[in-house]
């Protein structure tokens, strides 16, 4: 069984466990274990050398129980149909957790974007929209940025979509767009802010604050930077960063300064095309040393499956907030639970991005746009209500936060399915 297929089976297992715990009708799991729609398309693109290359792509719409499907589209050479199916199922959990009138969606194109020119990426983006146009729409399926896609690519998407649908243009069909094309303020920082806010809330549940606490951050891209920025604003001190961008010649992959690292200086290094490993006032350490550091909090914000069972056994932190999707393996999660570590799962911690995408979807449809402060304040209030609900469920049912998240979400989907007469 391949690793990608394992992701699908693991996701189905979590659905089944939550359905059983909630004592739901067996039909609920049978309905939710498969996507309602999975399309596979071939996208022919004329390359810069004049030759035509065909790229395979997938789009999964998991459940319409609560509304149209919503989720990212990634450009990655390792995309598989099973991965896309599993990720759409995870998106259904995320949007249901947030109480949004949406279902889960996910898409992917099998491509290494590093091998394409900007013109070829634009052609591929437009080709994806042409191939999936009949299945897109603000009340059908709403794509957004994901791995190796961004606001610029959303611009290509919406431009092609409008060209194909003259007379029924609908800019709410895509989110994560540039501000000039109907995007939302605070979208770029939404995910990282949520990662930090989840940690703050976890400590406040124990009547503690973050002042004086230390944290380390694995990855310093968009999510890692904003998570570190807000953690620092909340009073915690960043002491180490693991560079997901490249490794130093010595094999070291992280830097540490126990007195603290300057978040803005780290960001400047990245913007200048350097690595966080080039930070002057620091010393380099290995990946293994990084996760074993004596710190209060870990923010894994880059890669999947980095906290394995082996790594988890070395962790001294008391709280982990998953900024990345799937950074902790099932074996690693079990070790952390046995050690009493509070593991805030990805579907809870990094849900700020889709929440603000939802605000963008609303703003596009009503033709009225919120200012930065409105978006930021609304995100904080909405996330805190969700966090409280999940922590309460975990305590009431004596389960971890991931299982509690699945239970809260699936309960909402099951109720909607019942009222729609699906079972």
pLDDT of residue 168: 79
Per residue in 304-323, pLDDT tens?
Answer: 889 999 999 999 999 999 99
268 annotated ligand-binding residue: no
User: What integer is the mean pLDDT of 262-269?
Assistant: 97
Q: Do the beta carbons of residue 288 and residue 325 sit within 8 Å?
A: no
Q: How many domains does the chain have?
A: 2
Query: For the chain, what percent of residues have pLDDT higher than 90?
Result: 91
In this structure, the answer to whether residues 216 and 80 fall within a common structural domain is no
Q: Is the pLDDT of residue 141 over 90?
A: yes
pLDDT of residue 1: 40
Predicted confidence band of residue 244 (pLDDT cuts 50, 70, 90):
low
In this structure, the answer to whether residues 141 and 212 fall within a common structural domain is no
In this structure, the answer to whether residues 161 and 120 fall within a common structural domain is yes
In this structure, the answer to whether residues 223 and 286 fall within a common structural domain is yes
Is residue 350 assigned to a domain? no
pLDDT of residue 251: 52
Q: Is the pLDDT of residue 227 over 70?
A: yes
Is residue 14 assigned to a domain? no
Predicted confidence band of residue 252 (pLDDT cuts 50, 70, 90):
low
More confident of the two residues 422 and 303: 422
In this structure, the answer to whether residues 196 and 333 fall within a common structural domain is yes
Asked which of 304, 320, 340 is the last residue of a domain, the reply is 340
pLDDT of residue 243: 83
295 annotated ligand-binding residue: no
Is residue 84 assigned to a domain? yes
- Which residues span the domain enclosing 70? 35-170
229 annotated ligand-binding residue: no
Asked which of 319, 340, 361 is the last residue of a domain, the reply is 340
Asked which of 322, 340, 358 is the last residue of a domain, the reply is 340
pLDDT of residue 7: 86
Predicted confidence band of residue 303 (pLDDT cuts 50, 70, 90):
confident
Is residue 19 assigned to a domain? no
In this structure, the answer to whether residues 225 and 115 fall within a common structural domain is no
Bridge partner residues of 61 (DSSP): 37, 105
pLDDT of residue 139: 97
Query: For the chain, what percent of residues have pLDDT higher than 70?
Result: 97
43-47, 195-199, 251-255, 378-382: which range is least confident on average? 251-255
pLDDT of residue 247: 43
206 annotated ligand-binding residue: no
pLDDT of residue 315: 98
Please list the active-site residues. 106
The whole-model pTM stands at 0.93
In this structure, the answer to whether residues 164 and 271 fall within a common structural domain is no
pLDDT of residue 195: 99
Per residue in 1-44, pLDDT tens?
Answer: 444 448 899 999 999 999 999 999 999 999 999 999 999 999 99
In this structure, the answer to whether residues 146 and 215 fall within a common structural domain is no
In this structure, the answer to whether residues 235 and 113 fall within a common structural domain is no
Q: Is the pLDDT of residue 245 over 90?
A: no
CATH for 146: 3.40.50.10860
244 annotated ligand-binding residue: no
In this structure, the answer to whether residues 216 and 300 fall within a common structural domain is yes
User: What integer is the mean pLDDT of 382-407?
Assistant: 97
CATH for 258: 3.40.50.720
pLDDT of residue 3: 44
In this structure, the answer to whether residues 93 and 221 fall within a common structural domain is no
Is residue 363 assigned to a domain? no
């Amino acid at each position: 069984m391949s690793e990608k297929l394992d992701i699908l089976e693991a996701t189905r297992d979590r659905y089944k466990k939550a359905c059983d715990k909630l004592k739901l009708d067996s039909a609920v799991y049978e309905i939710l274990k498969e996507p309602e729609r999975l399309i596979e398309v071939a996208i022919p693109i004329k390359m810069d050398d004049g030759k035509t290359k065909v790229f395979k792509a997938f789009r999964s719409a998991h459940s319409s129980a609560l509304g149209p499907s919503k989720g990212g589209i990634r450009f990655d050479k390792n995309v598989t149909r099973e991965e896309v199916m599993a990720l759409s199922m995870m998106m259904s959990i995320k949007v249901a957790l947030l109480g949004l009138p949406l279902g889960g969606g996910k898409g992917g194109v099998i491509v290494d974007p590093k091998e394409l020119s900007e013109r070829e990426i634009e052609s591929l983006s437009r080709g994806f929209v042409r191939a999936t146009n009949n299945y897109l729409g603000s009340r059908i399926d709403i794509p957004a940025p994901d791995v190796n896609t961004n606001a610029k690519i959303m611009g290509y998407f919406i431009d092609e979509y409008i060209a194909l649908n003259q007379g029924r243009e609908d800019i709410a069909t895509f989110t994560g767009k540039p501000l000039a094309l109907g995007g939302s303020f605070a979208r770029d920082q939404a995910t990282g802010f949520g990662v930090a806010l989840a940690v703050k809330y976890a400590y406040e549940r124990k009547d503690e604050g973050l002042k004086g606490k230390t944290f380390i951050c694995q990855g310093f891209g968009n999510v890692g930077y904003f998570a570190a920025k807000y953690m620092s604003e909340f009073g915690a001190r960043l002491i180490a960063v693991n560079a997901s961008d490249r490794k130093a010649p010595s094999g070291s992959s992280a830097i540490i300064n126990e007195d603290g690292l300057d978040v803005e200086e780290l960001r400047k290094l990245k913007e200048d095309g350097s690595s966080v490993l080039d930070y002057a006032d620091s010393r380099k350490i290995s990946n293994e040393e990084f996760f074993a550091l004596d710190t209060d909090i870990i923010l894994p914000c880059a890669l999947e499956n980095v906290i394995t069972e082996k790594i988890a056994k070395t962790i001294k932190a008391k709280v982990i907030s998953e900024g990345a999707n799937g950074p902790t393996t099932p074996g690693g999660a079990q070790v952390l639970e046995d050690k009493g570590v509070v593991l805030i799962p990805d579907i809870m911690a990094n849900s700020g991005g889709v929440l603000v995408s939802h605000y963008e979807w609303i703003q596009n449809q009503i033709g009225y746009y919120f200012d930065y402060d409105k978006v930021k304040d609304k995100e904080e209030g909405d996330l805190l209500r969700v966090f409280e609900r999940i922590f309460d469920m975990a305590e009431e049912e004596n389960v971890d936060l991931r299982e509690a998240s699945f239970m809260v979400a699936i309960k909402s989907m099951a109720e909607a399915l019942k009222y729609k007469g699906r079972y």
